[in-house]
A and B are shown apart, each in its own frame.
Chain A
Amino acid sequence: MPDNETVTDLGLDEYKYDFVTDEKPLFKAEKGLSEELVRQISAHKDEPEWMLEFRLKALETFYSKPMPNWGGDLSTLNLDEIYFYLKPQDHMERSWDDVPENIKQTFERLGIPEAERKILAGVGAQFESEMVYHSLKKEWEEQGIIFESIEDGLRKYPELFREHFATIVPPQDNKYAALNSAVWSGGSFVCIPAGVKVEIPLQAYFRVNAEQMGQFERTLIICEEGSQAHYIEGCTAPVYTTESFHSGVIEIVVKKNARFRYTTIQNWSNNMYNLVTQRAMVHENANMEWVDGNLGSKLTMKYPSCYLVGERAHGEILSIAYAGDGQHQDTGGKVVHAAPNTTSQIVSKSISKGTGRSTYRGLCKVYDGAINSKSNVECDALLLNDTSRTDTYPYIEIDENQSSIGHEASVSKVGEEQLFYLMSRGLSEEQAMTMVVRGFIEPIAKELPLEYAIELNRLIELEMEGSVG
């Protein structure tokens, strides 16, 4: 039963994403993008030559690719006004005591100390483009699990890193993957050794906290054969008046018989352009699940994907998008069946309020020879006002006859009968509306760890404030 509400408040109350701490970045690059900047970033990170070359080549790719002419409106995004690299601290912190006070304050407002106390543990937090705090549970180290910042991953595990880096999302994949490849900074490097099962989720919190700052985190996760783990990442951003830009790349390899779940809840400030490429390569009999929650931002374009390349591989994408006034959530998922007996499922739920717009964009591709593949797509949109909007673009490409693809889409409005029913029991119209919305996302919220489900519900409540006139 969804009794999340019975757990005591995590103190997210006063956090209505409108606070800024006064930490001083030690390094602040110039605004805008250039080859010089890319060289500086690489030098600053003391990277091997191959990485510098990779970045420079990616920059060329970025310049050569046209802006995507589909999805959301990017015309007001001005890359010359964005800082592509910031570095608040030179050193990685290992223990909580070493974390500077002002940063701690920020974390505290995000509820991270609670998470610590509850031994959710293993917190790697990204603050201003870089890891500043990184603690790993002892038992994980004993199990041989690697959970490092992406920079440390490259430094400490050069071969493993190079073997997988950019193999899942190559820079040529799309314009923003190319941009990320050129200027990436921050993110996690994770490797779960063969046969190791991690019970407690690995968590990374991060937070963008500098005006006009671009954040280009890069995460690489390797799940060796037969391993099992759950990685959680969540973030909120303070509100600023000028545009912000976030463009991450997440690459995951799930090897034979491994199981992996990647959970994100993102709640960006309303001026954020959020363009993320998340992709998993799923091998024989392996299982990959994306659980994705998108709130806030001006425009989000995000389509977690699973490439099912081994027989009996299974991929799942569960996503919730909430488009408030003036926001556009262009989200969905992509599944590629490239081996026999592969299965996939996409469940996407969106809520649009006021002038918000949500788009479901999905691709299901079945290659010739991927016999007995099964895919099921379900997307439900809930519109809260007459001004809200939703569109669905389900692309299906099937080259194999012996496969089955199901697609169901629904659009609903919060019904007058539902509201009347709830109000006749004493709920105000706003409470009634919030309750219908929470119920709508419940099938996905219940997949989240408790703290996240509470946070999500809290965010929805905040978003619903003033939703009725």
Chain B
Amino acid sequence: MSEHLLEIRDLQARVADGGIEILRGVDLVIEPGEMHALMGPNGSGKSTLAKVIAGHPGYEVTGGDVLLDGKSVLDLEPDERSRSGLFLAFQYPAEIPGVSIANFLRTSLNARRSEEEGDLDVFAFQKLLNDKLGLLQVQPSFAARYVNDGFSGGEKKRNEILQMAMLEPSMAVMDETDSGLDIDALRIVSEGVSTLRGQDDRMGVLLITHYKRILGYLQPDQVHVMLNGRIAHSGGPELADQLEEMGYDWLHEPEPEPVG
């Protein structure tokens, strides 16, 4: 049996220190090279799922498992998960004043190199950075800015994608990266993601979105709908069109399994 790239099994999670339960049994499997879209109304738990996958300390897993390449990641720190190939493009990225994007990226890249490899050569880094800036059609001066400090909504999203392009993850979770991007930026970012997937045909993507526009560019293999902490419905790309037309009301939560 070949391993799934990402497997989420009956995942349950609540806000840490006994807070409210948010994820109530999520099941999801992504195979290498696949792109899945995750949709669902506000507050249904999409971002929570993304953050739990990445290991956010603010949530506590109360049941189920998350496996990357067949191995559970739940005991790994966020940095270890990142170094195992996981990437999360945040819906609301944090601001780190005083730290340039270039510096941050270089530190991140070096953090995933072994001791024998040593730090990335300055020129090699600069070349890589220039390539990725070019791919995403971002001005070189952008990398000199402080991470998300005073960024517009769209600039923050571009910064997330720049980081994704630099770190070349095997499994990327993109949380509403399309929200806030202008029409041109959406196209450029979508093309950038396609290019990355072209370079690594095993790369998996979980794309959280409210809009079908980005799905027009990226063509997901599957579309899932999250309702109240569970995946309530899954289907092909046509599901996104249905949702756009009819909203979420026609979908109802799966009944809890009968207790007997």
- A contact residues, total (Cβ < 8 Å): 29
Residue among A420, A431, A439 making CB contact with B98, cutoff 8 Å: A439
Q: Which residues of chain B from 54 to 73 have a CB within 8 Å of any chain A CB?
A: 54-58
Given contacts A438-B98, A440-B97, contact A428 B146 (CB under 8 A): no
Interface string of A414-435 (1 = CB under 8 A from B): 0111101111111111011001
Interface assignment of B130: CB less than 8 Å from any CB of chain A: no
Assembled-state Cα–Cα distance A421/B97 (Å): 13
A-B contact pairs, 18 of them (CB 8 A): A1-B102, A1-B144, A5-B106, A6-B122, A421-B90, A422-B104, A423-B79, A424-B78, A425-B79, A425-B104, A426-B112, A427-B107, A429-B77, A429-B79, A435-B96, A435-B104, A436-B96, A439-B99
CB distance from A89 to the nearest CB of B (A): 42
Interface assignment of B138: CB less than 8 Å from any CB of chain A: no
Assembled-state Cα–Cα distance A457/B77 (Å): 26
* Nearest chain A residue, comparing its CB with the CB of B105: A425
A423 touches B98 (CB 8 A): no
B78 touches A423 (CB 8 A): yes
Interface assignment of B167: CB less than 8 Å from any CB of chain A: yes
Residues of B within 8 A of A5 (CB): 103, 106
B107 touches A435 (CB 8 A): yes
Interface assignment of A441: CB less than 8 Å from any CB of chain B: yes
Residues of B within 8 A of A423 (CB): 55, 77-79, 82
Residues of A within 8 A of B78 (CB): 420, 423-424
A420 touches B103 (CB 8 A): no
A426 touches B77 (CB 8 A): no
A424 touches B98 (CB 8 A): no
Residue among A2, A426, A439, A440 making CB contact with B108, cutoff 8 Å: A426
A3 touches B79 (CB 8 A): no
Assembled-state Cα–Cα distance A425/B86 (Å): 9
Assembled-state Cα–Cα distance A221/B87 (Å): 55
A422, A426, A436 — most chain B CB neighbours (10 Å): A426
Assembled-state Cα–Cα distance A425/B167 (Å): 8
Residues of A within 8 A of B147 (CB): 439
Q: Which residues of chain A from 357 to 378 have a CB within 8 Å of any chain B CB?
A: none
Interface assignment of A442: CB less than 8 Å from any CB of chain B: yes
Instruction: Please classify the interface of chain A as helix (H, G, I), strand (E, B), loop, or mixed, using the class held by over half of its residues.
Output: helix
* Nearest chain B residue, comparing its CB with the CB of A437: B98
Residues of A within 8 A of B87 (CB): 424
Interface string of B32-62 (1 = CB under 8 A from A): 0000000000000000000100111110000
A416 touches B96 (CB 8 A): no
B111 touches A2 (CB 8 A): no
CB distance from B173 to the nearest CB of A (A): 10
A3 touches B111 (CB 8 A): no
Assembled-state Cα–Cα distance A348/B179 (Å): 38
CB distance from B168 to the nearest CB of A (A): 12
Residues of A within 8 A of B99 (CB): 2, 435-436, 438-439, 442
CB distance from B18 to the nearest CB of A (A): 17
Interface assignment of B93: CB less than 8 Å from any CB of chain A: yes
Residue among B79, B122, B146 making CB contact with A439, cutoff 8 Å: B146
Given contacts A423-B79, A439-B146, contact A1 B96 (CB under 8 A): no
Interface assignment of A11: CB less than 8 Å from any CB of chain B: no
Residues of A within 8 A of B122 (CB): 6
Assembled-state Cα–Cα distance A423/B58 (Å): 14
CB distance from A429 to the nearest CB of B (A): 7
* Nearest chain A residue, comparing its CB with the CB of B164: A425
CB distance from B54 to the nearest CB of A (A): 5
- B contact residues, total (Cβ < 8 Å): 38
Interface assignment of A158: CB less than 8 Å from any CB of chain B: no
B93, B94, B147 — most chain A CB neighbours (10 Å): B94
CB distance from B13 to the nearest CB of A (A): 15
Residue among A6, A426, A443 making CB contact with B111, cutoff 8 Å: A426
Interface assignment of B100: CB less than 8 Å from any CB of chain A: yes
B97 touches A427 (CB 8 A): no
CB distance from A217 to the nearest CB of B (A): 32
B82 touches A425 (CB 8 A): yes
| Leading 8 A-B pairs by shortest Cβ distance | A439-B98, A442-B98, A1-B144, A439-B99, A421-B94, A423-B78, A426-B111, A425-B108
Q: Which residues of chain B from 137 to 175 have a CB within 8 Å of any chain A CB?
A: 143-144, 146-147, 163, 167
A6, A422, A424, A442 — most chain B CB neighbours (10 Å): A424
Residues of A within 8 A of B94 (CB): 415, 417-418, 420-422
Assembled-state Cα–Cα distance A82/B119 (Å): 47
* Nearest chain A residue, comparing its CB with the CB of B92: A417
Residues of B within 8 A of A440 (CB): 97-98
Residue among B58, B102, B163 making CB contact with A425, cutoff 8 Å: B163
A426 touches B58 (CB 8 A): no
Given contacts A5-B103, A416-B57, A435-B104, contact A428 B97 (CB under 8 A): no
* Nearest chain A residue, comparing its CB with the CB of B146: A439
A424 touches B111 (CB 8 A): no
Residues of A within 8 A of B26 (CB): none
* Nearest chain A residue, comparing its CB with the CB of B166: A425
